[in-house]
């Protein structure tokens, strides 16, 4: 039987996986119908409702940003992480995945100062590789 922390981790991974599915379905052009995206959104919302209930009972499990939106500093730190991932793809000469790393980061809705930096990186990659 799972303990509460393991259940929390599993619920978190489910929500993140569904979010990634929505992104990839969109990138593949398979979300032409708005209803499919709404269904994925509802599924994520339902999982997060369960997580909220869990956090009311076990506040020690609640993620730092559960009740408050990320700040510019959070987005800047996450952008640094994305740049490291992209650099790995660049080293592998894989501009498609390098580009996808930045486009995926944009999909989380970073603050405008960070989004502007991400768009600059995307433009550089496209220019360098004639995309």
pLDDT band at residue 90, thresholds of 50, 70 and 90?
very high
Dihedral of the alpha carbons of 34, 37, 38, 41, in degrees to the nearest 10: -160
The Cα angle at residue 88 between residues 117 and 74, in degrees rounded to 5: 40
Residue 23 phi/psi, 5° resolution?
A: -60, -50
pLDDT tens readout for residues 30-84: 766 667 778 888 898 999 999 999 999 999 999 988 988 888 999 999 999 999 9
pLDDT tens readout for residues 58-73: 999 999 889 888 889 9
pLDDT tens readout for residues 3-13: 999 999 999 99
């Amino acid at each position: 039987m799972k303990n509460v922390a393991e259940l929390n981790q599993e619920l978190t991974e489910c929500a993140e996986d569904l979010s990634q599915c929505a992104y990839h379905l969109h990138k593949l052009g398979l979300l032409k119908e708005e209803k499919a995206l709404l269904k994925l959104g509802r599924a994520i919302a339902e999982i997060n409702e369960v997580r909220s209930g869990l956090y009311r009972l076990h506040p020690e499990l609640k993620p730092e940003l559960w009740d408050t939106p990320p700040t510019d500093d959070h987005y800047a730190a996450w952008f640094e992480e994305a740049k490291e991932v992209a650099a790995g793809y660049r080293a592998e000469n894989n501009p498609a995945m390098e580009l996808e790393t930045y486009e995926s980061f944009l999909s989380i809705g970073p603050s405008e100062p960070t989004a502007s930096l991400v768009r600059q990186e995307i433009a550089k990659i496209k220019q360098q590789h004639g995309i």
